[in-house]
Amino acid sequence: MGTPGYRDHPVPEWDPDAAVDWAEAEDFLRQYHAENPGTGAVEPRLAEVRAEIAATGTYEHTGDELTYGAKLAWRNASRCIGRLYWRSMLVLDRRSARTPHEICAELIRHLELAGGTDDRSGSRVGRQGAVRPVISVFAPAKPGEPFARVWNEQLVRYAGHRMPDGSVVGDPAQVDFTAALELLGWKGKGTAFDVLPLMIESPHHGVHMFDLPERAVLEVPLIHPEYGWFAELDLRWYAIPAIANQRLTIGGVNYPLAPFNGWYMGTEIGARNLADKDRYNLLPVMAERLALDTSSEATLWRDRALVELNRAVLHSYARAGVKISDHHTEAARFLEHIRREEKAGREVPADWSWIVPPISGAATPVFHRYYHEADQRPNFYLDEEARQLARTGRPWTSLPL
Ligand code: ARG
């Protein structure tokens, strides 16, 4: 955080008007067939896809190609430490959803399935809080045609309310987005944890705003295993981190709307969302309650506050029965993932600066090695336009130059 140009390293150019790149299509189809021997010879499918691209500029993935391609995109996500379970992701084929209302209904369903909060009879979902990785893949972009998307950065995020004195109630990362929605008539409760509505845009219906129903947003009130006062801070966080604005690319076909989630690793909340100076900035609050000596950095009061905040997050999720993992466990799993992949004859693309957790880095095994840095496809990319929409809540064209 706070080091522009580092966190947001450049994304390969994407030309929404261009026809599907045949070489990318071929690479993917060959990989899909090679890794799934049951799918038979690739040649007939290659011929079919080549003809389809020649005629229409793009091609349609089969359900199985889509499912495997989405899993490969996760396997190739070099910043993700949680890839051991890449095969287990639930891939929901939502390519036929069109209107913002239809899309919204599927996004709600996504959150319910991911969090096990669905109680419709007959559906096979886990117990509430048993978070499972899910991706919903909506219609691909066709060359030269507009496409549907969600402006929000994640399906669930908390609003940031700018106060007259300049302070922020809520998540400072969402201040501009929140202000834009307020101009459009949205009003939150004004708490530090108001769930933002979804901004869903589709080609023929424009942008629509939807409040998420409570049952779709599983949340955890934060408590500490030892300090009773911690509950008085009235903190909470949500269960399902679901990135909503990254483009999924598979075999040259781009899916601008393909929200996906895993479960949280505690440090994402306790060492970043609640701790970063430009987020909830809770370390000074923790230090005061813990009566730590903040007269000098050398007392390591920040570090001590961080540890207690992170203990609170892990403890609270466990108590609430909501799946979460700690960074030691997740680091060990990642090395297991690397071992398994190497056994299968594959290297694991990884970005050290993202894989190493934000606290106790060298106390986890992922710190002590280098990784294969490669941009492999299928993958997920955050396009500049999508990033701006999530940041400002305003369409690209209305941005001052
Ligand atoms: N770091 C982001 C957040 O704190 C979520 C990124 C995805 N995380 C995950 N565990 N799948 O909201």
**High-pLDDT (> 70) share of the chain, %:** 94
264 pocket-lining for ligand 1 (C-beta < 6 Å): yes
pLDDT tens readout for residues 203-226: 999 999 999 999 999 999 999 999
- In whole angstroms, what is the distance from residue 103 CA to residue 191 CA? 28
pLDDT score of 12: 76
CA distance 231 to 312: 10
pLDDT beyond 80 at 9: no
Pair of tokens at residue 230: 């911690």
Distances (CA, A) of 151 to 15, 148, 328: 19, 10, 34
Tokens of 197: 């509505």
C-alpha distances out from residue 261 to 29, 232, 241, 339, 356, Å: 25, 30, 6, 24, 20
Is residue 276 in contact with ligand 1, taking CB distance under 6 Å?
Answer: no
| Ligand 1: centre distance to CA 8 (Å) | 15
Share of the chain above pLDDT 90, in %: 92
Closest CA to 381 of 79, 117, 161, 164: 79
Please name the residue whose Cα sits nearest to atom 12 of ligand 1: 241
**Residue 13: its pLDDT value, please?**
78
Q: Ligand 1 centroid vs 127 CA: distance in angstroms?
A: 22
> Which tokens go with 62?
């089969």
Q: Is the CB of 274 under 6 A from ligand 1?
A: no
> What atom of ligand 1 comes closest to residue 133's alpha carbon?
11
Mind listing the pLDDT tens digit for each residue in 259-268?
999 999 999 9
Residue nearest to atom 7 of ligand 1 (CA): 241
Task: Read off the pLDDT of residues 284-322 as tens digits, 9 standing for 90 and up.
Answer: 999 999 999 999 999 999 999 999 999 999 999 999 999
Q: How far is CA 274 from CA 104, 266, 269, 310, 349, in A?
A: 28, 11, 6, 9, 29
Scored b (16 or more CB within 10 A) or e, 332-360 reads ebbbebbeebeeeeeebbbeeeebbbbbb
Q: Is 246 in the pocket of ligand 1 (CB under 6 A)?
A: no
Is the CB of residue 259 below 6 angstroms from any atom belonging to ligand 1?
A: no
Rounded to whole angstroms, the Cα distance separating 338 from 81 reads 10
Distance CA 229, CA 56 (A): 63
Mean pLDDT of the chain: 95
- Ligand 1 centroid to residue 151 C-alpha, Å: 17
**Which residue's C-alpha comes closest to atom 6 of ligand 1?**
241
Report how far ligand 1's centroid is from the alpha carbon of 26 (Å). 32
| 268 CA: nearest ligand 1 atom | 4
pLDDT, tens digit, 9 for 90 and up, residues 60-103: 999 999 999 999 999 999 999 999 999 999 999 999 999 999 99
* Mean pLDDT, range 237-259, rounded to an integer: 98
**CB 87 within 8 Å of CB 108:** no
Sequence spans of domains, the chain: 22-157+195-354+381-395
pLDDT of res. 117: 86
Residue 228, token pair as written in the block? 């009773």
Q: What pairing do the DSSP bridges indicate for beta strands 260-261 and 134-137?
A: antiparallel
- Residue 138 clears pLDDT 60, i.e. is over it: yes
- Name the DSSP class of 233: G
Active site residue 104: no
Contacts of 138 (CB under 8 A, 6+ apart): 94, 95, 97, 103, 106, 148, 255, 257, 258
83 given a catalytic annotation: yes
Among the listed residues 83, 94, 247, 311, the single catalytic one is 83
Alpha helix positions (H), 162-293: 175-183, 266-267, 283-289
- Residue 126: the pLDDT is 72
Residue 5: per-residue pLDDT: 41
Among this protein's residues, is 391 annotated catalytic?
no
Pocket test for ligand 1, best of 264, 272, 334, 380 (most atoms within 8 A of CB): 264
| Distance of CA 138 from the midpoint of ligand 1 (Å) | 21
* Alpha helices (H) in 229-362, listed in sequence order: 266-267, 283-289, 301-320, 327-343, 352-355
| Residues 313, 333: Cα–Cα separation, whole Å | 20
d(CA 42, CA 287): 61
Residue 379: predicted pLDDT = 98
* CA of 146 relative to ligand 1 center, distance in Å: 28
Q: Is 268 a catalytic residue?
A: yes
Specify whether domain 22-157+195-354+381-395 bears CATH 3.30.360.10: no
- At 150, phi and psi to the nearest 5? -110, 130
The whole-number pLDDT of residue 125 equals: 59
Q: Separation of 267 CA from ligand 1 center, angstroms? A: 10
Q: Of 126-135, 247-256, 348-357, which gets the smallest average pLDDT?
A: 126-135
Residue from 24, 26, 106, 268 carrying the catalytic annotation: 268
Whose Cα sits closest to atom 11 in ligand 1?
Answer: 262
* Residue 400 pLDDT greater than 60, yes or no: no
Phi/psi for 91 (5° steps) reads: -105, 115
- In angstroms, the Cα distances linking 268 to 6, 314, 358 are 18, 11, 8
Give 4's pLDDT tier (boundaries 50, 70, 90): very low
